[in-house]
């Protein structure tokens, strides 16, 4: 509120969902209409509380959103484990894309397996092939965005529609990719490359996860 907007609507929804509930057009329309109705206020400033909460997800108790079990051979290299995990999720990601008619994966223009290999290589020797002339940190960011979107979208296709917390907990606690991101975070923290320093600050691992794993 420090920038003094003339009209504002407070909502109780989680950060990232200002209109409350995905795939609930009526709910979203109610929030949107309430916000737009503030334009009719005769005087201001107006700061209104939206009275409706998002319905609680019915799978809060389910800790794991993973549709696939990742049996790991003891002699597997980290690269092989990551690639096998990505491949195992492909049918679930296909299902997600089919159901939604779209996917957010594609910022890096790499296939998920190619993105996994690029990440694995970076963890090994801190090199990555630049995408569109971007610097190291920006390139790594796009690769990571694609991988995380791929995993999150695949997990959401699981029967029972896991909620946001379940998907996040699964990714960061139970997947090789989540572990690779945490290893990447440590590399970025220790790096003298300013673009990797920027990446680790807010763009790699959610603060809540860092506090949990600290």
Partner 1 sequence: MVRLADLPEWDRKNKLDKLKELTGWDARPWVKPPPLAQCRIAIVTTAGVHRKGDRPFGPGATDYRIIPGDTKATDLVMSHQSVNFDRTGFQEDHNVAFPLDRLNELAKQGVVGAVADFHYSFMGATQIRQLETKAKELAQLLKDDRVDAVLLTPI
Distances (CA, A) of 63 to 60, 140, 167: 8, 29, 9
Closest CB to partner 1 among 91 and 206?
A: 206
Which one, 36 or 72, has the nearer CB to partner 1?
36
CB contact set of 116 (below 8 Å; sequence gap of 6+): 79, 82, 83, 85, 86, 147, 177
- The 3-state DSSP class for residue 46 equals strand
CA–CA gap between residue 58 and residue 51 (Å, rounded):
21
Backbone angles phi, psi at 197, to 5 degrees: -60, -45
Report in angstroms how near the CB of residue 203 gets to partner 1 at its nearest: 5
> Rounded to 5 degrees, what angle do the CA atoms 164, 91, 120 make?
75
Say how many C-beta atoms besides its own lie within 10 A of residue 150's C-beta: 25
Pick out residues in 133-172 that bind partner 1 (CB under 8 A).
134, 137-138, 141-142, 145, 148-149, 152-153, 156, 163-164, 167-168
Kindly state the smallest distance separating residue 165's Cβ from partner 1, in Å.
Answer: 9
Residue choice 129, 206, 212, 213 for contact with partner 1 (CB under 8 A): 206
Measured between alpha carbons, how far is 58 from 75 in angstroms, rounded to an integer?
Answer: 40
Tokens, residue 180: 């690779």
Is 202 one of the binding residues for partner 1 (CB under 8 A)?
Answer: yes
Nearer to partner 1, 122 or 170 (CB): 170
Among 183, 211, 212, 214, binds partner 1 (CB under 8 A): 211
Site for partner 1 in 19-38 (CB under 8 A): 19-23, 25, 28-29, 32-33, 35-37
Instruction: Pick between residue 86 and residue 136 the one whose CB is nearest to partner 1.
Output: 136
Q: Cis check for the bond before 63: say yes or no (omega within 30 of 0).
A: no
Site membership for partner 1, residue 64 (CB under 8 A) = no
SS3 4: coil
Rule CB under 8 A: is residue 42 a binding residue for partner 1? yes
Query: How many chain residues touch partner 1 (CB under 8 A)?
Result: 67
Query: Binding residues for partner 1, per CB under 8 A?
Result: 2-6, 8-23, 25, 28-29, 32-33, 35-37, 39-40, 42-45, 100-102, 104, 106-107, 134, 137-138, 141-142, 145, 148-149, 152-153, 156, 163-164, 167-168, 195, 198-199, 202-208, 211
């Amino acid at each position: 509120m420090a920038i003094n907007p003339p009209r504002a609507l407070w909502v109780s929804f989680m950060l990232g969902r200002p209109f409350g509930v995905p795939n609930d057009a009526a709910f979203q329309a109610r929030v949107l209409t309430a916000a737009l109705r503030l334009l009719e206020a005769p005087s201001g400033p107006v700061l209104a509380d939206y009275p409706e909460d998002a319905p609680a997800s019915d799978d809060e108790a389910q800790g794991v959103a993973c549709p696939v079990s990742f049996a790991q051979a003891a002699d597997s290299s980290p690269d092989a484990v990551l690639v096998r995990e990505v491949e195992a999720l492909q049918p679930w990601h296909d299902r997600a894309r089919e159901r939604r008619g779209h996917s957010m994966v594609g910022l890096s223009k790499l296939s998920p397996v190619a993105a996994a290999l690029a990440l694995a290589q970076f963890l090994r020797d801190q090199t990555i092939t630049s995408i569109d002339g971007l610097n190291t940190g920006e390139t790594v960011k796009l690769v990571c965005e694609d991988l995380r979107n791929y995993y999150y979208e695949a997990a959401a296709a699981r029967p029972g529609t896991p909620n946001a917390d379940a998907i996040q907990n699964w990714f960061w606690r139970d997947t090789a990719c989540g572990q690779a991101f945490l290893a990447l975070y440590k590399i970025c923290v220790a790096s003298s490359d300013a673009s990797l320093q920027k990446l680790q600050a807010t763009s790699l691992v959610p603060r809540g996860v860092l506090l949990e794993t600290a």
